[in-house]
Structure 1
Amino acid sequence: MSADDLPVAWDRARTLAYEAGRAAAGPAEVISLAEADGRTLAEPLRALTDLPAFPTSSIDGWAVRGPQPWRPVGRVLAGGVAPPLDETGTCVEIATGAMVPAGADALVRVEESTRDADGRVSGKPRDLPEWRLPGEEAHKDEMLLPAGAAIDPAVIGVAATCGYETLTVRAVPRATVLVFGDELLTAGTPGAGRVRDSLGPQVPGWLRRYGATVGPAAGPVHDTLDAHLEAVRSALETADLVCTTGGTMHGPVDHLHPTLAELGAEYVVNTVAVRPGFPMLLARVPGTDGRWRFLAGLPGNPQSAVIALITLVAPLLAGLQGRELPPLPTVTVSAAVPGRGSFTHLALARRDQLGRSVTPVGHVGSAMLRGLSNAHGFAVVRPDTAAAAGDEVPFLPLPLMPGERP
């Protein structure tokens, strides 16, 4: 295993993680519509027929032919097949969503019609047609959504409208979280040299929001090489991605790099030129089935760990699911944000109601979580720059729930 001496530029690190995920994306599977929320299309979603498939009434009223008054000759309801309207001067009562009979010239709203003593109907059709034409929404075989689109309830509704009962989707990446550190408490208040683990409880939630399936975090794993090896080997047997917390440097109890060497891993990224979060890493480990497994080493400081998640893990999981890596939106900062020299600075910030402006938040030390809990994401200050109030900068949002729209 080899690694470059210099940290990888932040943009480049995201790209490398994404490309590694795309190259290792798992096979597709077919699932029911009821199971599809939060998944990713493995094939384009195409219209199976014209939408609508037949001319459809948009109103309750009358389908008429020829000049008025019209003699009613029947009724057509939603779900029924309308016989042709062949005779001039006739009409049929029609319901919203019903098939418009062939031969009809227009539709007249029931509230804008009258009937004479003989039951004949009069009324003035509106200038614009009151029915939907076949193919108005989509034509047969038209692509509605590309492969890689995230599936949410709206997508499921479109698929159902087309007549789908199943969808072909990407497999859900399986993730495991391992917490390193003998100094960590998993219950109670911190003190006497021990700190409460805050990453084990939160990292699984972030992973779920990026589309992975994950159980509770395991650990703390003892600070020995043997314990690290055993824990990582065991996790890699069932997981596509293992996220570890802490131990990413080369201190006396940092055993992650020796563990990766023992496992024959290859670095995808080893340290990133970003602050906070610099000592993050992503490696791939060969699996017994010939597929790569991944290990993301998150720094032990909580905010740094979250930055590692959104820098390396989010692009990796997007690639594993066959999704695109979306471009970063641009926002205006309401206050100055300093640079971090030759490193990218990710500054916690909160969006305004319109989402166009962000305000830096306080309590943003790499070991702090208070600022993170009040933020919507990170303002991105490029290397060798600083942002003044009113400047436009990229914004890296924190994730929503799987399939949720921004």
Structure 2
Amino acid sequence: MTRTDADGALDEALALVSRSSPQTPDDNAGGDGGGGRRATPWLRARESAVRAGSGVRGRTHRIPLADALGEVLAAPLDALGDLPSFDTSAMDGWAVAGPGPWTVRPGGGVLAGSEPSAPLADGEAVRIATGARIPADTTAVIRSEHARESGRQLHARRPVTTGQDIRPRGQECRSGDLLLPVGSLVTPAVLGLAAAAGYDELVTRPRPRVEILVLGDELLTEGLPHDGLIRDALSPMLGPWLARAGAEVIGTRRLGDDPAGAEALFEAVTTSTAEVIVTTGGTASGPVDHVHPVLARAGAELLVDGVAVRPGHPMLLARIGEQAEGRHLVGLPGNPLAAVSGLLTLGEPLLRALAGRRQRPRYAVPIEGDVPGHPHDTRLVPVRLTDEHAVALRYNGPAMLRGVAAADALAVVPAHGARAGEELEILDLPWASGGCFT
């Protein structure tokens, strides 16, 4: 990738930060979460989110097939009978008995769903449709294009082998076989398998319920930014994002930075029916940053308090209540790309664990061109994926969404950056990787 003037400017800025002495608290090794708190390394923060979700006793319910998509099996999917439950034809053609040529049985053929037909006599043939029950004593099925009918005689155009194009009873499974284990994600293919096996309902773990609280007095819900006010970019983004990540979003509310907003935040933290509360903003230590005081007042346990990642280092994860039954709060920074960083670092791993879903496989892709890094912290950079490389995108500042809106994924850039061709871990964005079905 060709280096841009913006890339060069970022290089110079990061180099200046690295050389500056003494360092500011924001750039100390490992960073901090505000107020001198030591930040958690990025990978350890993700692991903490997984452990937090895995320690919760998950809810289960019995649900119709039509409503189970995207949930996770809480009971094994066992075969209720043989599949197929009888010998069936794999092709449209002719069921034949014995060696040819064969005499065509008069009357209609055998259709799918029809009653069992009379057994075939040796040297006899009958037309048969795909999926139809095989008549007793059938030797093989000959595809229509591989046979020639002359009067009442049927001739094969190529050699016939015993059992060809017959799906025998129990070919896919026998009664009692394990089809899918607990923890399997219910995809469209799983719905098809369950239906084929005779299921009308499934026992699953429901999607984790999430409530979103957007904090800030400076946010507009419509129109152009003006007079120090900015548009709320997070409310339109977070709900669909979390839904694609497998959550059931039960509501989105906006709360002010005044004492009334802080009280409303405390009430939500202590009374919400959601398993996860996601907040935006207010996670640092400013005069109107209420998240830490509210969590302390609610008796919450801080599991992650600041992460050594850019953007997004003031993010946090807290547990409210006992581990097995507890709820969680994911505190995202207020800047949009920093909030995305928090979603991928803490939010998605927590939600996948709460839902009983496997974590995404880790994989790496060579980066095209040099990518600057932070002097001490991990950096998450929006990238486009090609057949061979990840291409870093511009407009990747903490407050920017232009880069991630054009991205397929975020690349995990280690401290001090990456050289062209170096393999970097890739975090897929939910819309680029199948969303809640992955």
- TM norm structure 2: 0.84
Structure 2 partner of 1:327: 361
- Give how far 1:37 is off: 1.6
Task: For residue 308 of structure 1, give the secondary structure of its aligned residue in structure 2.
Answer: helix
Are 2:338 and 1:338 equivalent residues in the alignment? no
SS of the aligned residue for 1:85 comes to coil
Look up the equivalent residue of 2:199 and give its one-letter code.
Y
Question: Which of 130, 136, 152 is matched with 2:187 structurally?
Answer: 152
How far did 1:12 drift?
A: 1.1
Q: Does 1:44 align with 2:76?
A: yes
Q: Determine if contact 1:25/1:319 at 8 Å carries over to the other structure.
A: no
> Deviation of residue 80 (structure 1)?
2.9
Over the aligned positions, Cα root-mean-square deviation in angstroms equals 2.3
**Which residue of 2 is the match for residue 265 of structure 1?**
300
Name the stretch that deviates more: 289-298 or 249-258.
289-298
Please list, as runs of the form range in 1=range in 2, the aligned pairs for 1:270-281 lying within 5 A after superposition: 270-281=305-316
Query: What is the match of residue 62 of structure 1?
Result: 94
Matched, 1:137 2:172: yes
Measured after TM superposition, the shift of residue 347 of structure 1 is 1.1
- Aligned residue among 65, 89, 104 for 2:138: 104
Q: CA deviation at 1:87?
A: 2.8
Whole-Å separation in 2 of the counterparts to 1:365 and 1:29: 43
User: Equivalent residue of 1:303, what SS?
Assistant: helix
Q: Deviations over 1:42-95 (max 9, x none)?
A: 223233333322222122222111232323346322113434635322222211
Provide the C-alpha distance between the structure 1 equivalents of 2:268 and 2:424, rounded to a whole number of angstroms.
42
**Alignment length, in residue pairs?**
397
Q: In structure 1, the residue corresponding to 2:246 is in which secondary structure? A: coil
Deviation of 1:338 (Å): 1.8
Asked if 1 retains the 8 angstrom alpha-carbon contact of 2:96 and 2:120, the reply is: no
1:243-276 per-residue CA deviation (whole Å, 9 max, x = no partner) reads 1111111111111101000000001111111111
Residue 297 of structure 1 aligns to a residue whose secondary structure is strand
Equivalent positions of 1:11-26 (< 5 A) are 11-26=43-58
Q: Following the alignment from structure 1 to structure 2, what is the Cα–Cα distance between the partners of residues 385 and 53?
A: 62
Letter in 2 for 1:123: A
Contact 2:265 2:294 in 1 (8 A): no
| 2:275 pairs with 1:213 | no
Q: Deviations over 1:332-368 (max 9, x none)?
A: 111211222331111111112x4x5210001110011
Partners of 2:94 and 2:166 lie apart in 1 by 12
C-alpha displacement at 1:153, in angstroms? 1.7
Is residue 2:424 matched to residue 1:389? no
Whether the 8 Å contact between 2:243 and 2:436 is mirrored in structure 1 is no
Please tell me the residue identity of whatever aligns with 1:120: Q
- Find the aligned partners of 1:77 and 1:95 in 2 and give their Cα distance: 5
The CA distance in 2 between the partners of 1:191 and 1:388, in whole Å, is 41
Pick closer, same or farther for the CA change 1:388–1:140 going to 2, 3 Å: farther
Deviation, 1:293, is 1.3
The change in CA–CA distance for 1:131 and 1:86 in structure 2 (over 3 A counts) is closer
Other-structure match for 2:279: 244
Residues 366 and 73 (structure 1), Cα distance of their counterparts in 2 relative to 1, 3 Å cut: same
> Are 1:379 and 2:411 matched, yes or no?
yes
Q: What does residue 364 of structure 1 align with? A: 396
User: 2:363 aligned with 1:318, yes or no?
Assistant: no
Aligned residues of 1:86 and 1:103 also touching (Cα < 8 A): yes
Q: 1:33 to 1:125 in 2, by over 3 A?
A: farther
Counterpart-to-counterpart distance in 2, 1:402 and 1:376 = 12
Contact 1:348–1:364 (Cα < 8 Å) also in 2: yes
Q: Aligned partners of 1:49, 1:403: CA distance in 2, in Å?
A: 30
Report the equivalent of 1:169. Answer: 204
Bigger Cα displacement from structure 2, 51-60 vs 323-332: 51-60
Residue number in structure 2 paired with 1:196: 231
**Where do 1:69-148 residues align within 5 Å?**
69-73=101-105, 75-83=109-117, 85=119, 87-117=121-151, 119-124=152-157, 126-127=159-160, 129-148=164-183
2:10 counterpart residue number: none
The separation in 2 between residues aligned to 1:86 and 1:184, in whole angstroms, is 78
TM-score (norm 1): 0.91
Give the direction of change, closer, same or farther, for the CA distance of 1:17–1:163 in structure 2 (3 Å limit). same
CA distance, structure 2, for counterparts of residue 345 and residue 225 of structure 1: 35
- Greater CA drift, 49-58 or 20-29: 49-58
**Counterpart-to-counterpart distance in 1, 2:293 and 2:261:** 12
Aligned partners of 1:70 and 1:121 also within 8 Å:
yes
Q: Deviations over 1:178-235 (max 9, x none)?
A: 111112222221121212211122111111111111145211x222345323234236
Q: Is the 8 A contact 1:25 1:321 kept in 2?
A: no
User: Of 33, 39, 42, which residue of structure 2 is paired with 1:10?
Assistant: 42
CA distance in 1, matches of 2:197, 2:169: 13
Where does the alignment leave 5 or more consecutive residues of structure 1 unmatched? Answer: none
> How far apart, CA to CA, are the structure 2 residues paired with 1:98 and 1:139?
20
Distance in 2, matches of 1:23 and 1:309, equals 20
Q: What SS is found at the alignment partner of 1:312? A: helix
Unpaired runs of 5+ residues, structure 2, are 1-34
CA distance in 2, matches of 1:242, 1:392: 35
The one-letter code of the counterpart of 1:374 is A
- Identify the residue that residue 233 of structure 1 maps to in structure 2: 267
